[in-house]
Amino acid sequence: MDILTMIKNRHSVRRYTDKKIEGEVLSALQAEISARNAESGLNIQLVTDEPQAFGGFMAHYGNFSGVKNYIALIGKKRPDLDEKIGYYGERIALKAQQLGLNTCWVALTFSKGKCGAKINKGEKLVCVLAVGYGENQGVPHKSKPIESLCKVNGTMPDWFRSGMEAAMLAPTAMNQQKFLITLSGNKVKAESTGGFYSKVDLGIVKYHFEIGAGKENFEWTKD
């Protein structure tokens, strides 16, 4: 299945079975992480068979259970780190979905101090992706109206609408959808409108938009 289908099928899952990630699925997931690290300069790491990070009160508060595998989203401290983590982390999450796995973005409801990944000097653990075989496939999240999430000068092109539809399916912290996408000619600006972890959310949203809209139809701008 293609990436757009993965976007439509993937929903956050918080409860996991004991089935191990192994064999070809494990190899393919590790290869995807290695490829995204090489492309981005990040230090994303897969941690398997490690229950401690999701073994405390915060994980219970977040309604997580059975999480023994997670992807630690790590990179060098820099102004655009959070956005890069969102962009490349979502690419990995969708690959995991394609491999038959489930995921959930987790920023606060896990124990950072018990994370099994190696964080080098000058690096930051931004958040993690819980990953594994879910007890279910999750449920779609509710979305704000498209008109409240974008601005268009003139008629909305079909490619832009398709991009927005994909962006509206992006997971965001507490489903806050604190983003605004503006179209002017063929230039598209995506910005955060506040909220916690919204820069991570913005990276996720931008990747979704690219998949829906087609990168050949527009160019990103910061103006």
120 with 199, same domain: the answer is: no
Boundary (domain end) residue, out of 104, 132, 160: 132
Residues 124 and 176 in one domain: no
Which CA distances in Å does 87 have to 65, 66, 91, 109, 210? 26, 26, 7, 21, 11
208 with 120, same domain: the answer is: no
Q: Has residue 223 been placed in a domain?
A: no
Contact (CB, 8 A) for 190 and 202: yes
Task: Please report, for residues 10, 74, 120, 199, 219, the alpha-carbon distance to residue 125 in angstroms, rounded to integers and kept in the order given.
Answer: 24, 5, 10, 14, 30
User: How do strand 123-132 and strand 150-152 relate by DSSP bridges?
Assistant: unpaired
**Domain holding 91: CATH number?**
3.40.109.10
- Looking at the fold, whether 45 and 106 belong to one and the same domain comes out as yes
* Helices (H), ranges, the chain: 3-9, 23-40, 57-61, 81-98, 158-167, 198-213
The C-alpha torsion from 97 through 101 and 102 to 106, rounded to 10°, is -100
Residues 146, 168 contacting (CB under 8 angstroms): yes
Of 70, 98, 132, the residue that ends a domain is: 132
Asked if residue 128 and residue 58 are part of one domain, the reply reads yes
**What is d(CA 59, CA 110) in angstroms, rounded to the nearest whole number?**
5
Are 164 and 124 within one domain? no
What is the C-alpha to C-alpha distance for residues 219 and 161, in angstroms, rounded to an integer?
A: 15
Asked whether residue 71 is domain-assigned, the answer is: yes
83 and 153 belong to one structural domain: no
Least Cα distance to 79 among 211, 183, 192, 219 occurs for 192
- Do 88 and 160 lie in one domain? The reply is no
Residue 213: domain span: 146-217
Token couple for 69: 């595998």
Cβ(198)–Cβ(192) under 8 Å? yes
| pTM of the full structure | 0.96
Residue 1: predicted pLDDT? 62
Same domain, 160 and 207: yes
Shared domain for 107 and 200, answered yes or no, is no
Q: Are residues 28 and 98 located together in one domain of the fold? A: yes
Residue 43 maps to a domain: yes
| 119 and 55 co-located in one domain | yes
Question: What pLDDT is recorded for position 22?
Answer: 98
Among candidate residues 132, 158, 192, the one where a domain is terminated:
132
In a domain, 173, yes or no: yes
113 occurs within a structural domain: yes
Q: Per-residue pLDDT tens, the chain, 223 aa: give them.
A: 699 999 999 999 999 999 999 999 999 999 999 999 999 999 999 999 999 999 887 776 788 999 999 999 999 999 999 999 999 999 999 999 999 999 999 998 899 999 999 999 999 999 999 999 999 999 999 999 999 999 998 899 999 999 999 999 999 999 999 999 999 999 999 999 998 899 999 999 999 999 999 999 999 998 7
Say how far apart CA 177 and CA 3 lie, in whole Å: 21
